[in-house]
Structure 1
Amino acid sequence: MNAAVTSEPPRYIDWYESPVGPLIASATDSALCSLSFCDAERLEERLQELRHQYGAPVRGGDSAVLSDLRVQLAEYFAGRRRDFELPLSAAGTPFQERVWAALCEIPHGETWSYLQLAVRIGDALATRAVGYANGANPIAIVIPCHRVINADGGEGGYGGGLWRKRILLDLERGQGCLAL
């Protein structure tokens, strides 16, 4: 039997219980590739989807990056970490990657509107496209898409559910710590 040959590095997949529900992460040996919310009843199904998504060997369990993520998430939810220090590998279009880089510039505890984010990337007319790119962010929390709101101050949407967005924003505004 011939094994499939791939140039892609192996991926590690793990899940973490968090105050905002289960989180599923994937990483290579050198970078975090995804972090997403998953309701408990879909956890096994989502793990299987990720295993099929990658054109590379997938391994369960820990890597150095996933181990660092676990520690940094615990610190974040305890209110002791404002910024994540992890190597990231978020694959998207050049436009999406510009939006995701700009998201990382939003200070902890603050929010920007979709318009502010569009202006930041140099295209004030791209608010709708910015919203789609924001929603396509593959690395929740670490790339802080939850910090984007409507221009009128409304919450806007959130792929992980508005209840999660409220919890994350309240945490960052110093309105409590969340134990793991």
Structure 2
Amino acid sequence: MNYYTILESDLGPITIQASDEGLLGIWFEQHTTLPNELGHYLPEHPVLSAAATQLTEYLSGTRHQFSLPLAAKGTEFQSKVWEVLCSIPYGESISYQELANRVGNPKAVRAVGTANGRNPISIVVPCHRVIGKDGKLTGYAGGVDRKLKLLELESSGS
């Protein structure tokens, strides 16, 4: 059974989905990967409640790491990319090439970029910390403006 809640934030509404095993997804309103069926609206579900609290703390600048059970569904390759994303420290960013290197497949930059873009757990699995080789902000499923705001939040040292 899946459950969801919606967190109101300065970045707009954030939909959070979980199962009893853990967090399944965090999406902004414009995400195209938001599932058609979210499950039951249950903000008091322990995983959803913890996620909402931790996201609020993160967005206020008081939380730099998340401690939530993750249960995202993806291929073995996507899961490996998402695991590496979680190792990028708060306030730092890397290029897609560096991400491919860390995944152990330096020639798979495009595949890594695709897996990064399919990350269902925004912010907690910090795909926003991956930028273009030239330092430019490239696409972000939540919108490049939000990506910039997340990176600015982290660089402010709050």
- Asked if Structure 1 and Structure 2 have the same fold, meaning a TM-score greater than 0.5 normalized by the shorter chain, the answer is yes
Matches within 5 A, 1:2-41: 10-39=1-30
Q: Matches of 1:175 and 1:32 in 2, distance apart? A: 26
Other-structure match for 1:128: 110
Which deviations, in whole Å up to 9, do the C-alpha atoms of 1:93-120 show, x marking residues without a partner? 1000000000001010000000000000
1:96 paired with 2:81, answer no
Paired position in structure 1 for 2:130: 148
Once the two structures are TM-superposed, the CA of residue 156 in structure 1 deviates from its matched residue by 1.2
| Structure 2 letter corresponding to 1:71 | T
Shift of 1:50: 2.5
CA offset digits 1:111-143 (Å, max 9, x no partner): 000000000010100000000000000000000
Give the C-alpha shift of residue 36 in structure 1.
Answer: 0.5
Larger Rg over CA atoms: 1
Q: Which residue of 2 aligns with 1:164?
A: 146
Name the TM-score, length of structure 2 as normaliser: 0.93
> CA-atom RMSD, angstroms?
1.6
Q: Are the equivalent residues in 1 in contact too, given 2:91–2:157 (CA < 8 A)?
A: no
Q: What is the aligned length?
A: 155
What amino acid is aligned across from residue 16 of structure 2 in structure 1? A
Q: Which residue of 2 is the match for residue 60 of structure 1?
A: 41
Q: Which runs of 5+ in 2 are unaligned?
A: none
Q: Which amino acid aligns with 1:28?
A: S
Counterpart for residue 121 of structure 2: 139
How far did 1:74 drift? 1.1
Q: In the alignment, which of 95, 100, 111 is matched to residue 113 of structure 1?
A: 95
Q: Could you tell me which residue of structure 1 aligns to residue 61 of structure 2?
A: 79
In the alignment, what sits opposite 1:5?
Answer: none
CA offsets 1:58-82 (integer angstroms, 9 cap, x no match): 2212200000011101110111100
Q: How far is 1:25 from its partner?
A: 1.1
SS where residue 37 of structure 2 aligns? helix
Letter in 1 for 2:40: R
C-alpha separation in 1, matches of 2:73 and 2:102: 20
Task: Tell me the distance in 1 between the aligned counterparts of 2:61 and 2:6.
Answer: 21
Following TM superposition, where does structure 1 have runs of at least 4 consecutive aligned residues deviating by more than 4 angstroms?
none
Which ranges of structure 1 fall in alignment gaps of 5 or more residues? 1-9, 52-57
| 1:50 paired residue number | 37
